[in-house]
Chains A and B, each alone.
Chain A
Amino acid sequence: MLIDIGRISLNITLVLAVYVAVSSLTGALKKDLRFVVSARRGIYAIFCLISVSSAALLYAFITDNFALKYVASYSEKNLNIHYKISAFWGGNDGSLLFWLFALSLFAALMAFQNRKDKNHRFIPFAYTVLMIIMIFFLVLTSFVTNPFELLPPYMVPADGRGLNPMLQTYGMMFHPPALLLGYVGFSIPFAFAVAALITGELDSLWIKRTRKWTLLAWVLLGLGNILGSEWAYDELGWGGYWAWDPVENASFIPWLTATAYLHSVMIQERRNMLKVWNMFLIIITFSFTIFGTFLVRSGVLQSVHDFGVSEMGPYFVIFMALTAIIAFGLMLYRYEDLRSGNNQLESFISRESTFLLNNLILLGLAFATLWGSMFPLISELVTGNKITVGPPFFEQVNTPLFLILLIITGICPLIGWRKASSQNLKKNFIIPTIFLVITGVLLLALGIRHIYATLSFSFSSFVLVTIIMEYYRGIKARGKIKGENPFTALFMLLWKNKRRYGGYIIHVGVVMIFIGVTGSQAFVTETAQSLRIGESMNVGKFRLQYDDVKIKRKPNYEAVVVFLSVYEAGRKIDTILPEKRWYNKFPEEPTSEVALMRSLKEDLFVILASIERSGTIMVKGIINPLINWIWLGAIVSCIGGIYVLLPDGGKKKVKS
């Protein structure tokens, strides 16, 4: 019954979305607000209907309704309730419904946000663009990957097939929704960009209207990526967190182009430049989010983790082609308008040019990552032979680019707009450069000969010092002008100029991520050894002693738990319990539960690789220095991002 409601409301939504698309288009073309108002109400209704559909599917999961093929394939009775909920997006069909839900939510919020704007024609056009995207996904979920597909009555099982054990983790509860929300979020700036191209309202207004949407999407996409790598680290048990797999790259590439966009729009707002470039960036960012959604589901590239091959390929290819042709076609149509009235760059040593360098490097990273991921296809097309590149390629190419990006992060805020004076440079650069050199010399003196690592740490200290100086200057200036004490000044600084000072918080987080990645990539120690009870092994400075083994029984799995004492410098500091689990529904796929001893300095990562009947175990131990700085950095960045998203406290809002 409820399932029928879910399915039917999905079908009604499709009809309604077509109506909204037509109605908003009519409203925009005829400049008749009545159509626009009706379209807006339609968008609200769509959100309600898709919420009903989503609730119906969720209800089916919670109540173990295995008459639904999707529920039967991804859930089981004994699954924990929170995993029953996250099984919603555990497969292709459900994750596309979640896509729709997110899009309808964002569209409704966007419509609500702009409800009072009667002057700008790009708003109804933006509705139309969003509805076209919506219709595409509605067609997919209605006709190709319908999550409400019923099994024939004779095939309804007593219990479901269960959720893949690897997905039964907390990481998997949050990583997919964050990533998908991030993907979907870019639909809003994209819709506004296309709408602005249609109407010719090419000033910075559409950028201002979507600024927070872009940032929100960027934060969510970044968070999704980091959560995914945290999940890989915790769950997959190979000791790493990023493998440059095509599926990972597919979600990293739009993040890179979005980062470029996020920075370059500031130049457009400030200096009325780069209009063409910004259009280009938002169009490719959106295209890459669709491409990423597609790649995970297509089986086009050899990846270690993807959904099964499905029949959606052609639909996506057509949609992506149409999107690109129309968006870039409009851009060409408006090319002259976009070019006119632009200011020009004045000096190499200006903030604009460092922003541009930042953009080039980010696009270079995106291109290299895309090229490396697609190379098997490209080479096969050109030469007939498939040639692949692995992590070494990405590390070799991307590491120098990332280092340049890192140092620009520090340099950029120090250089004034338009043209920096040499006095400005001297004043701003001396102290950070001293710190850079000190860090480098110190590391060399400590015997570190890893050139990239040394550079990375030195650049990090440079960036951190510049950020501290920026805060210091701001506080001092406020103290001088307004007579505020340092604490009030800091508070007011953060409050009045969220974008700038919140942006620096994001930068601090990014630098922390750099530090963590550098430590865990350059200085990792790995050992594997087989142990009998009572024996011990050394992993770097730690000694692991195999004390005991026990069996643990839970409703949906059984596990072998191994007790290992950890000794450091002859003193017992902890007992860790790596385990191996056999889930009832997946008896042939044992999964390892990693034992982690986390600290800011390093992680001791221990995995039970195998166990024999005799009780002999094979243990793999890894020391990952500084790795937790990655996760902490992500949290700091998120806090910074959320802070910038808060309503502006500074100048009075200028209604346009």
Chain B
Amino acid sequence: MKKNHKFMVAAVVIIIAIGYLVFIGIKESGVYFMTVAELKARPDSQAEDGVRISGSVIEDSIEYVNDKMLLTFKAKDEESDDNDYVNVMYKGVKPDSFKADAQVILEGKYSIDENLFRATTLLVKCPSRYEEETPPPDYNLKEHKKIIVDGA
């Protein structure tokens, strides 16, 4: 029995060590995760290293400067109206699936004075979720060809 105790103590020490690692990890890299509206309501709640937000991309607000790799757009909560938005600035490559109405997850810092979110990471939620009842009308190929670079 005594021997078993010894092993128990060793196991507990290891478990505490792992628990401590997890605790420190959360403390150091945990950030608040909120919606755009929540962020605007409580801009002070972001930690030193920023905050993570989810929102949807407002149509016609997307601008991308190719050679500077600078993406700017407006994001809002899916259900709130278009005026309740934040400006987002992201430097980096624009992901393929990024488009109007896309659901994005952003990490970065928010400045309330400029209503500007400087994002350091930009994730687009996988667009494979289409659960609508009806399939869309057949797609117009002519429209499509405009998207592809002409000539070249």
Contact = CB atoms under 8 A, between A and B. Distances in A.
A397 B22 contact: yes
Contact of B30 (A346, A357, A389, A615): A389
A344 B4 contact: yes
Given A305-B128, A308-B130, A589-B97, A160 B52 contact: no
Contacts of A371: 22, 26
Interface stretch (B6-14, B76-84, B109-117): B6-14
Contacts of B28: 392-393, 396
Interface string B1-40: 0011011001100110010011011101111111000000
A73 B25 contact: no
A551 B148 contact: yes
A530 B138 CA distance: 35
A336 interface: no
B15 A360 contact: yes
B129 to A, nearest CB: 4
Contacts of A344: 3-4
Contact of B105 (A302, A356, A551): A302
B25 A372 contact: yes
B21 A592 contact: no
A519 B147 CA distance: 39
Contacts of B149: 549, 551, 560, 611-613, 615
A235 B11 CA distance: 42
B39 to A, nearest CB: 12
Contact of A302 (B33, B69, B124, B131): B33
Nearest to B34: A386
A306 B152 contact: no
Contact of A304 (B94, B125, B147, B150): B125
A354 to B, nearest CB: 12
B86 to A, nearest CB: 18
B29 A389 contact: yes
B67 interface: yes
Nearest to B6: A348
Contacts of A356: 7, 11
Interface string A290-331: 000000000000111111111000000000000000000000
Contact of A584 (B26, B34, B97, B144): B144
A348 B10 contact: yes
A530 B68 CA distance: 8
B9 to A, nearest CB: 11
A618 B93 contact: yes
Given A304-B123, A385-B45, A396-B29, A367 B131 contact: no
A444 to B, nearest CB: 26
Given A159-B138, A591-B96, 17 more contacts: A72-B135, A155-B135, A161-B135, A303-B125, A304-B123, A309-B131, A344-B4, A345-B3, A388-B33, A388-B52, A393-B25, A528-B93, A560-B148, A560-B149, A588-B99, A589-B96, A615-B152
28 contacts: A72-B135, A73-B130, A166-B126, A305-B125, A348-B7, A361-B14, A361-B18, A364-B15, A367-B18, A367-B22, A368-B22, A371-B22, A387-B30, A387-B32, A388-B52, A389-B25, A390-B31, A390-B52, A393-B25, A396-B21, A401-B21, A549-B152, A550-B152, A558-B145, A582-B147, A589-B96, A589-B127, A610-B94
Interface of A: 72-73, 155, 157-161, 164, 166-167, 237-238, 302-310, 344-346, 348, 353, 356-357, 360-361, 364, 367-368, 371-372, 375-376, 379, 385-390, 392-393, 396-397, 400-401, 528, 530, 549-551, 558, 560, 580, 582, 584-585, 587-592, 607, 609-613, 615-616, 618, 620
